[in-house]
Each structure stands twice: as structure tokens, then as C-alpha cells.
Amino acid sequence: MIAAMRPPPSLPCPTHHPDADLLSRHAAGTLADGPALVVATHLDFCPICRHQVRAWEALGGALLNSQRPVALADDALERTLARLDGARLEEKRPLADVPTLDPDPALPAALRRQRLGPWRFVAPGIRGRAVRVDPAQGYKVMLFRVAAGMAIPMHGHRGQEYTCVIDGAFNDVFGRFGSGDMAAVDASVDHQPLAEPDGDCLCLIAVHGRLRIHSLLGRLVQPLVGL
């Protein structure tokens, strides 16, 4: 069973995964948009976690089937049948045809389907693109490109924080995070991730509440990036 879960050795597989709680909430659809997007980005990289999300979805199906039926209005079926004629049957289309909103091929599919703002200066060595999510849920989502060797401005946050590396790698007290690796840390953690010295690090970050940036420069630019 364990062997069946391993991806083919040719594919690089992330080593830091979301926990079962996050995966089950993702499958149940109860995560806020920000964390859901970070988990979806990880899933684009990780066959192991895709397995598990499918399995949690199957739990959803089984629970749905065992749900106590609640009667609909008497004419509900009739009314729905009347609407079928206007409903076009969708063709089976290749997944590649799913519309993408962002043209950057370096981004994983989950992210290319989102509305992203333009690249903006955040701090020396750091640029960022805002990812539009519903602000009512309290999450800010940013795509950061951090120059080799620079600190990633995600330490000292007040709320829950979710990160997925898309390209390059960073290191912090929890280890090395490369492509597809995901980290979920809460407000008690004050960490200082550093991009590795041999290349830029591209990462997606969702933070609940405002991001606190420790450096003086960070404090100055914070109002500009709206974090």
C-alpha cells in the first residue's frame, strides 16, 4: 500500500505536505479561498496529496449518500426538467482547454486560473504580485519573487500563514522548502526564511490578517504593498 502511494521516481515530489486536517477541509470545501489556493498549488505538484484529497472527496460522497433526505418542493423536479432544454450539454473537453487567466507559463495551473495583479516592487530584492481573493475572509494572498540569498518577508505574522514554493527554494528552522513544498504555521512562529543563494525563489503566501515585516525598510514599504 505504501509503495502504491509513491510517485514514479522520475518525478520530483514535494517533501513538505499539508496535514490531513488541511487536506480534508480542502476536499470538503470549508477552507477560505486564500489557504485553498495555496493547497491547490501544492496539489499541482504532489500526487500523494492528490490521492488523499480524492479519498476525502469520496468521504464526502459517502456522507452525502447517507444524508437524511429532506423533501424539496412538490414541483421541484418538474421545474428542473423544464429548465433542461435551455441547458447546453457540456462536451468532454481536454483539461488543457480549461481557461487560464494569467499567461505566465512558470505558474502552476491552479494559480494561472486566478486574477493576479502586476509585478510590483516590495523591497530591495523582492517583487510581488497580489492575488485577488475575497477580502471578506480576511486573507491576503501574494506571489513573491525573492532574489537569491534574500530573506522572505513573511516572518512575524499575526495570523495563520500558508506558503507554497513554486520555483527555487528557501530554508528556515523547519528545513529546506523546494518546488511544491508547503508550510502552514501559526502566529506563534517567528521564522526567517532565506532564499537559497543559487537562484530566485518564487512562492505563494496566504496570510490571515496583516503581515508584519520586521525590517525598518519593511515597515516603510508595508503600506505600499497593502499587507
Report d(CA 109, CA 48) in Å as an integer: 18
Which residue in 147, 134, 143, 150 sits closest to 165, CA to CA? 143
- Residue 144 — φ and ψ, nearest 5°? -110, 140
Nearer to other proteins, 53 or 201 (CB): 53
Nearer to other proteins, 34 or 218 (CB): 34
Provide the minimum distance between the beta carbon of 79 and other proteins in the complex, in angstroms, as a whole number.
7
Report d(CA 55, CA 178) in Å as an integer: 26
- Residue 160 — φ and ψ, nearest 5°? -65, 140
Provide the minimum distance between the beta carbon of 149 and other proteins in the complex, in angstroms, as a whole number.
30
Nearer to other proteins, 24 or 163 (CB): 24
Nearer to other proteins, 84 or 216 (CB): 84
Q: At which residue does the C-alpha cell 423536479 appear?
A: 77
Provide the minimum distance between the beta carbon of 193 and other proteins in the complex, in angstroms, as a whole number.
21
- Residue 217 — φ and ψ, nearest 5°? -60, -40
- Residue pair 40/206 in contact (Cβ under 8 Å)? The answer is no
Provide the minimum distance between the beta carbon of 215 and other proteins in the complex, in angstroms, as a whole number.
31
Q: DSSP string spanning 168-191?
A: S-EEETTEEE-TT-EEEE-TT---
Report d(CA 19, CA 184) in Å as an integer: 9
Nearer to other proteins, 98 or 220 (CB): 98
Provide the minimum distance between the beta carbon of 95 and other proteins in the complex, in angstroms, as a whole number.
6
Nearer to other proteins, 39 or 195 (CB): 39
